[in-house]
Amino acid sequence: MQAEKMWEVSTGAGITIAVVDSGVDPTTDSLQGQVLPGIDASGAPGEASDDYTGHGTTMAEYIVGTGKNGGVQGLAPGAKVLPVRGSIEGLKDAEKWAPTSKALWAAARSDAQIINLSVGGPPAAGEEDAIRHAISRGKLVFAAAGNERQEHNLVSYPAAYPGVVAVAASGKDGEVAKFSQKGDYIDLAAPGVDLPKWCDEKMQSYCPNGGGTSTATAIASASAALIWSKHPDWTANQVLRVLVDTAGRKEKSEVRSRYIGYGAVRPRIHLLEGEGDPGDPDKNPIETVELDASPPASPSPEGDGSEDAKSGDKAGADRVEKASSEAAAEESDNDLWIYLGAGAAAAVVAAGAFVLVRRTRRT
């Protein structure tokens, strides 16, 4: 991605990303001065700065980390993160705390331009209303596509809600990750293999089992921040249109792939080469968002039409099925791993995406 050259054009300054997750510890070397006072919408003991798992802190570092003292170098170090702690699996007795929709509403009502949802699971009451509100306020919402393609590949929410940008994970070779879920709701892809993460809430060391669509989502959010910072007068639709226009895919197509959507995010193509048409400021480039649409009552397994989750997408039958080769970007962005993993141990992916805790869990 040629990060250092991109930072000469944009670092994400002036952009705030709400990270709805397990909390964000602002005291890590890489996040000092990068995190705004947060919102605890979980109802759990502690504050938004108390991350009992390390997941939210890891996501924040991939977005705005400075890389100080060998920490993770984020892609948009000039931006700021607004932590919104929700009822995330991994919090002690998380099922007792507030519904996840409360965290989504908090993010929707915040001043953040971008909402990062490196979480996933079945749909739950109140979530889609919060998403619609966020979109109506001009926010750009990214969510993890899910890491269970090799298991049951159920449609993942909030990624599949209309208007949300669902992000798949790709590896260093540009191929879609084996674990990354597929479906008609996938919009873009980003690196999500062989990347470090904080081991736990102690924040003492990185572990070699990070990555997943969670990390890919954080990188996509950071990519959007770089573009929006350069064009602060653009709408969320225009920022997304440029991400779609400049996405890397061997065979460019107006039809989304069920594996990588329109391709892998490449903000450098716009920032350094000036490509990408922002288009109509009021038109969503990936679908028609029905603001009064309702989510399915429950997720459905692959093969029964459940992959056609989003509105405005009628070409499901014509999608390319092969994950190999089509997921490769037109040009390699392998140097991204150098910047994101600077000073951290080399990681081997463990596709353990976080799961939103539901009041009523699917059995």
Catalytic residue IDs: 21, 55, 214
3-state secondary structure 228-296: HHHCCCCCHHHHHHHHHHCCECCCCCCCCECCCECCECCHHHHHCCCCCCCCCCCCCCCCCCCCCCCCC
Cα–Cα distance, 71 to 68 (Å, whole number): 5
Site of tokens 């540009």? 174
CA distances from 89 to 173, 251, 255, 323 (A): 31, 38, 35, 30
Cα–Cα distance, 236 to 77 (Å, whole number): 20
Cα–Cα distance, 285 to 330 (Å, whole number): 21
Comparing CA positions, the residue from 146, 195, 131 lying closest to residue 348 is 195
Cα–Cα distance, 232 to 278 (Å, whole number): 12
Beta bridge pairs of residue 80: 16
- How buried is residue 308: exposed, middle or buried, by Cβ count under 10 Å (0-12/13-18/19+)? middle
Comparing CA positions, the residue from 214, 232, 227 lying closest to residue 265 is 227
